[in-house]
Amino acid sequence: MKYSSLRFQRRGAIGVLLLNRPQKRNALNDIMIEELGDCVASIPAGVRAVVLHGAGEHFCAGLDLSELTGRSAAEGMEHSRKWHHVFDRMQFGRVPVVAVLHGAVVGGGLELASVAHIRVAEAGTFYALPEGQRGIFVGGGASVRVPRLIGAARMADMMFTGRVYSAEEGLATGISTYLVPAGKGLAKGIELASRIAGNAPATNFALMHALPRIAELGQDAGLLMESMMAGIAQSEPEAKRRMQDFLQKRAGKVKRAE
Ligand code: 1HE
C-alpha cells in the first residue's frame, strides 16, 4: 500500500513502519492517523512483528498543532476518539510493535510510543508532554497508558511543569526498556522483533491480549484468567514441541545476563 506520510516495508517476518514526515518532525495530522489505522489493519499475513520508527531527527513531535485551531468541543472529542481507535487497533492488533525512539518523543508522539509493546530508545531521546504548556490536555491515550509506564505523579509533573525527561531518565522510569547508542536503535528493534516473531503465536497472543487485561483485574479474576490462558497456551502442539526440544537438549538454555 502507498502512503503519503508513512512507509511500510517488509523484511521477511518483520514489518518496518516509518513515520515519514520529517519536514514537520513527524507531527501527526489527520491523514497520518488515518494511514496508521489503514496500515495496522492491513499488515500482511506472514508479518509477525512490526518495528515502528521515525524519519529525520525526531521520532515524533506529537499532534500537528496547525490542525487544532478551528475545532469545537464536540469536534475535539471526535478527533481524540479517532486517535484512541487507531492506537487501540495497534495495541490490541495482530502483531506486537517495537517502537524505536530518537530525538523528540513529545505529546502525541509519546502517546504513540506508549502504545507499542516494547520501546527502544537511542541516546539523545527526550520525552515531554507539552500539552500543559500549550493550554490543552492529552487526547491520544496518554492519561491511560503513560501512568501505567511511569505513574500518574510523574505524568502530572511533566504536564504541570513542562519537565523533560532524558533518554537515561526514560530508561530509569520505565518509558523505554532498552537504551542504545545513537543510530543503533533500528538494528536493535529488528533484533528484538525477530525474537518476538520466533515465539509461539499463543505466547505472543497472551502477552498482547491477556496480560494487559489481567494486570487491570483484581487478584481473584486475574489469577483465574491467567490459568485459562496458561491452559490454552500449553495445550498448543507448538508448546509441546518446544518443551520436548528442551528436554531432548535441542533447545538453548537460559544464559546469564551480559
Ligand atoms: C510542527 C510540530 C507540531 C514541529 N505541529 N508543526 N507538540 C509540541 O508542542 C511540540 C512542538 N514541536 C517542537 O517542540 C519542536 O518542533 C521539536 C522539538 C519537536 C523539533 O524541533 P526542531 O528545531 O528540530 O524543529 P522545528 O524547527 O521546531 O520544526 C520544524 C518544522 O516542523 C516547523 O515548520 P516550518 O514550516 O517552520 O518548517 C514546525 O512548525 C513544524 N512542527 N512540530 C505542527 N507538533 C491527541 S492530543 C496530542 C496533543 C499533542 O501532541 S500537543 C503537543 C504538540
Rounded Cα distance between 74 and 136, Å, is 15
Question: What residue owns the CA closest to ligand 1's atom 47?
Answer: 139
Q: What percent of the chain has pLDDT over 90?
A: 97
The pLDDT tens digits of the residues spanning 226-244 come to 999 999 999 999 999 999 9
User: Has this prediction a pTM greater than 0.75?
Assistant: yes
Bridging pattern class, strands 126-128 and 14-19: unpaired
**Distance in Å, CA 60 to ligand 1 centroid:** 9
Burial class (CB in 10 A: 0-12, 13-18, 19+), 249: exposed
Beta bridge partners of 29: none
What pLDDT does 48 receive?
Answer: 98
What pLDDT does 2 receive?
Answer: 86
Once rounded to an integer, what is the mean pLDDT over residues 77-106? 98
Q: Is the pLDDT of residue 68 over 90?
A: no
- What are all long-range contacts of 147-151, with beta carbons under 8 Å and residues at least 24 apart? 148/114, 149/114, 149/173, 149/174, 149/175, 150/174, 150/175
Q: Is the pLDDT of residue 70 over 90?
A: no
Once rounded to an integer, what is the mean pLDDT over residues 27-35? 97
Of residues 35, 111, 191, 236, which has the active-site annotation? 111
pLDDT tier, 92 (very low <50, low <70, confident <90, very high otherwise)? very high
Question: What residue owns the CA closest to ligand 1's atom 12?
Answer: 61
Of residues 67, 122, 131, 191, which has the active-site annotation? 131
Question: What residue owns the CA closest to ligand 1's atom 15?
Answer: 61
- Please give the helix or strand (H or E) that residue 185 lies within, else none: helix 185-197
- Please give the helix or strand (H or E) that residue 159 lies within, else none: helix 152-161
Once rounded to an integer, what is the mean pLDDT over residues 114-120? 98
